[in-house]
Amino acid sequence: MELAVVILAAGKGTRMRSQLPKVAHPIAGRPMLSHVIDSARALDARRICVVYGHGGELVREQVPAPDAVWAEQAEQLGTGHAVAQAMPHVSEDVVLILYGDVPLIRPDTLRDFVGRVAPDRLALMTLEMDEPGAYGRIVRNAAGEVQAIVEFKDADDTQRAIREINTGILACPRAFLADALPKLSSNNAQGEYYLTDVIAMAVKAGLTVEAVQPQFAWEVDGVNDRVQLARLERIYQQVQAEQLMRAGVTVLDPARLDIRGTVQCGEDVVLDVNTVLEGDVSLAAGVRVGPNCLIRNSCIGAGTVVEANSIIDGADVGEACQIGPFARLRPGTEMAARGKVGNFVETKKTRIGPGSKVNHLTYLGDTELGSGVNVGAGTITCNYDGVNKARTEIGDNAFIGSNSSLVAPVTIGKDATVGAGSVITRDVEAGELAVARGKQRNISGWPRPQKKD
């Protein structure tokens, strides 16, 4: 049977106390709604329809989903009314209803859940809670069959004592839903069209309501304020950390790891505290990442060590390299095997050849280093003239003395040497020594400046 997923995302979220619509607030660096859409995609749904309302244009801007259709709920008249706005876009056999502020529902859970639906049967996701609070209650008959959902505000004391609650997630035949929605009434305590009323309608029509509970309670947790948002963030991160550890990664403190994207790790990777992994990250076997590091959209080769407080962004790093501490590799950086970038070194659009070393206090922009190059402390490639960028090329086994400025475009040949403190504005041929600095003068009797009163 073909599946359509309707995601309700029209709520304002006043308790978030934010100008940003609730479903656009992030979990793991991405809007909550994006996580729900990803789960829908994992089900191979033929149609994904997002019902939007408050801040709708901002939501659509923050959550690009070209494969989804968007239905506006101009007035928030309840969940039943919201689903009704989606129905003109839905023609599939089965409709699954999800929520944009319930971001951690797992595709495996939903796949089993949707599989329960038949022309004469719908699936309802419920949860047993010790303290069910203000959730709607699941009412069953003496045989244990689901008969209805009663919202808390409409429930009597006996019904409020029920511990099984409605999560809101529902899957049912489209034909039944299309027939039931126009029959909903707003004659209730909140004056809204409750989607939950379709359960009693289904029972009356002779359909079976199969209640299914998720494997983990946090899968159906919703977000209403920033406290709940932070709690789900930590749950998400804990799950990611556990997956890595089961795959052979050492995470020194799972509570201090943040994954905000897709991570692939080989065996025996070690992640120290406060590691942040963003975007698409690949860490080969034996990579060690020190504390307080950010790695974004980068690949790091086997055996490489990243020391503390380093940032690697858009870089491709080879095997057995050393990076940091306090290094910054910006987009377009490539390091070949056994390269070294030390403390307080910044690189951008730079290729560092095999075994080359840039040990400390250096900026390399738009630069290519051959193999075995040594770059002394305080070296700068002056790649920007205020308008245009230019490249610097440094040949194999060249030696760049400390505190040198290489004014691009310029080429330093193979085995060439640049004397410390030089400002190089012309090419240096292979094997040459370039010394470009002012002649030293020693002045006797020069009066040192005195502090003024």
Q: What is the pLDDT of residues 410-445, one digit of tens each?
A: 999 999 999 999 999 999 999 999 999 888 788 889
Q: Do 94 and 113 form a contact (C-beta atoms < 8 A)?
A: no
**Binding site, annotated residues for UDP-N-acetyl-alpha-D-glucosamine:** 8-11, 22, 73, 78-79, 99-101, 136, 151, 166, 224, 330, 348, 363, 374
Q: Do 294 and 278 form a contact (C-beta atoms < 8 A)?
A: yes
Q: Which residues pair with 368 in a beta bridge?
A: 351, 393
360 is catalytic: yes
**Binding site, annotated residues:** 8-11, 22, 73, 78-79, 99-101, 136, 151, 166, 224, 330, 348, 363, 374, 377, 383-384, 402, 420, 437
- pLDDT for the residue 452: 80
DSSP 8-state secondary structure symbol assigned to residue 431: T
What are the chain's domains? 3-220 (3.90.550.10), 243-434 (2.160.10.10)
Residue type, 397: N
- pLDDT for the residue 300: 98
Q: What are the pLDDT digits (tens) for 59-94?
A: 999 998 999 999 999 888 999 999 999 999 999 999
- pLDDT for the residue 12: 81
How far is the C-alpha of 235 from the C-alpha of 272, rounded, in Å? 19
- pLDDT for the residue 440: 79
- pLDDT for the residue 327: 98
- pLDDT for the residue 187: 86
How far is the C-alpha of 234 from the C-alpha of 28, rounded, in Å? 9
- pLDDT for the residue 189: 79
- pLDDT for the residue 64: 87
pTM above 0.85, yes or no: yes
**Binding site, annotated residues for Mg(2+):** 101, 224
- pLDDT for the residue 177: 96
Q: Which of 123, 106, 98 is nearest to 173 (CA)?
A: 123
Spell out, as residue ranges, where the chain has pLDDT lower than 70.
none
- pLDDT for the residue 213: 96
